[in-house]
Structure 1
């Protein structure tokens, strides 16, 4: 069995810590996972198991994560040692984003932890939300809430949903409203409000901490954008959210990518693939044109027709009749680059796929045919039994008889019909 491992240059790893199985986290993970250069690892820290808190993230923090996302999670869920480790990582170049929720920000006690040093707002220990208490309404703003980019900082790449500032502002006005938001404490002088409500309540706040970046996003219902006709803007926003944290927002250039649905197919099976030429923010380059070629194991090549959809190009490779290593090459007419991927076509021989004897199947066959199961060392006794047993030949014959293909039955049936008709005629029933 052979397979392929695709190594993406400049890949980005994200650790997402969440304390509530809410709708937002499902849509968020799906949006980020659709980006081929972003790998998101999700850890659900259930508040039902608070007796086991704090948990250890030693294994997770040993990996090379560039971005940390903290969802609706109480600070008591993570050990202080791990929190300090995250702070040091952010100070040395990683980044962190805090998302809204009932136990987010000061409601979850984050300002009182070591991560409070990197938050863009002042500490407020009186805003703590306990699990055994009703939800505090003073910590939240009721919806409907519309996000309005700031006049000064609203042009940042996170909020860029159009080609120009005017198109982006129109796109934000067309997004569905949100259910509510967290009320953030007083902002520090180093904080930058990137977006707020129509009444001026800060929603998206950023700051620099050491070599890293910090974002606070005080809402948790952006999934409504994806459910109400703005899935493209939803995916683009969250991709740019992570790229900004990872300092990939200033990356210049276009990227040609190719993604296969599978890496192994059987002979004759079709293979679907997607390709595209995208900008750093994940949007498709307007006016881009791609061409695709498939190369068989013998080196013969043929063109593959591509169809354009809203975000990429799609193609289907058919007629893979030769087993071996195949190769797909996609070229971009705009920049002259190319992307390639390999896949395996295999021919499965059902008879030789598993050379081991299936003893269970042999026992079932022997039982169904009035036979028996013997070991190889019983072969002499088998011959002895055959020699001692008299030859027996049994012949069976089967006979079938049907009453309906008899001429007497036909006459009786016809007689009954005629008799019925005679009496019906005589009695005036017809």
Structure 2
């Protein structure tokens, strides 16, 4: 230990509590003596035979005190306790982050990427010195962990960082060996679902410290990033898809930038937008109309601005599944021929995605079927069992009286919504005779008896000056303005204008107020009940499905009194029919564990199977066929999940980027024994998880080190880390006492102080 390092080691040993005295005197007593010696010397120099100047007294006190303190410390024999291991007796593991974020040049390493800085730091001389001291094992990690022969083999190409798995892997691989420590070199960009600090704590419990080395800057600026893309297909006839981009930026506040959507090499939408403040995430919407019935992989783009450090997060791929949907079956029953029935049928018949089967009472005991698929459908009237009613996704009920349904059929309607997840819409009058029946449970309105209503609201719709029969323009509530089912235009302003242009409706059936959990979408502009506007259109969730109440029978006026080219009436009814049936359960449903995937991910496919009465089916034979992006087809049987009724699972590797098509084939051995098919798709896209929030995460790396008994260092402090590593207390290190006075520096310093004091006294003429 040379002189300079001896002084540094002395003070560091005091700070770390490694300085002790062989004489057994506590350190605090020694420090007290060190304080008292100068006071005593100052006092004695004040009693000299010849008076001293203030400067002489200070100089002589300082030199004599230093000499006496050093002599005192020599007599007490200070030693520094250190830990050391014999060369080559223990193992050292070095884990280097090899994920894509390590490609970033964030200005922290003299125009080098992070991985280049690590390669330079782990020079041959550094690794050679480590190999002389340890059995060295080096690893690269990203999604997985692999042995690393040389830092030059690092590629920074993995699209995921999993520090926890990397630490766990080393612990398992070297756990039976004398592992001295683990070193993790990373930017802290962990995007796994595990907490690496918890894994490091396990190693710490085995007295294996984890030392972490941070690479990069806390912020990558300036930068623009697409954080997320969400695409929602609207219910409009145009099948427009509203694509919402979440964009954040640092360093380009309030700048204008072009955002766009691309289908391959074709731009399908674009918009000039103003960016938000630094660190703010803003959302921008672009409408896209798919040009084909297929699962389409689009790409959102932001133009690159001058000076931007990170351009990889300026693009984001996402999937819009515009495949032809299965036909939605809707049953419409009405108690008598009405204009409303005629125009609703006309609107829905023009939609290829909808099939409207109707059962219309045309007179006493006389009924008319329309839109049926075969002669047996509705041949005995309204369905009387689950299998027949559950074949439909939606149910429309017009003006019918209580005796139209049996008690069992009313219970069946309730179950249709609650269990099957179907949609129920009641249009027109709901007789108060339905109070206390299963139908009243399902409806979003509280049915009240007519004679309990205020006089001006009694008697249903009456012509003339009666309040319930007057003309009115329904008012969109706040929820109604944003309801897709009621959109008549792509923009809010166009939507409001088209609603204002609609003809007035005539008459409202007063049935009561909306229930507590219901949502009112349209309300009467004037009439109130219990100080609340009368609801014209209300909805609520009920079990697995939804119910809707439309308290007028005059929407046909929106067709008859508008120009022939206006499609408002048709559009509204088609959208309401789709919305009504949108969440109806299917007998075969495909669920994926993620919205999108990246190369190397595992795709967990879950299929839920129900029988013909929509009971979960545990006795089905389920096969999964996957069509890869390159056209190859693979098949596998799906396994029943014993812990989840009706659920069958399979796992697929996401290897190549592109769109994967799924086809599920189900043969049920219960119920009707039918063979069913269901299609699905998912996209494997380039990953952005390594480029979002790509700054150095010091806090995470500090937690990892602290939880295991290690320490955190910057890459520039790598030499200090290696020095500390050599003296870290581990089960394989032995304690060594080093006498710090066994160095010529300290003896020379003592003699120098004694000589200096003697020379000064002689110079001043003192004895």
Larger Rg over CA atoms:
2
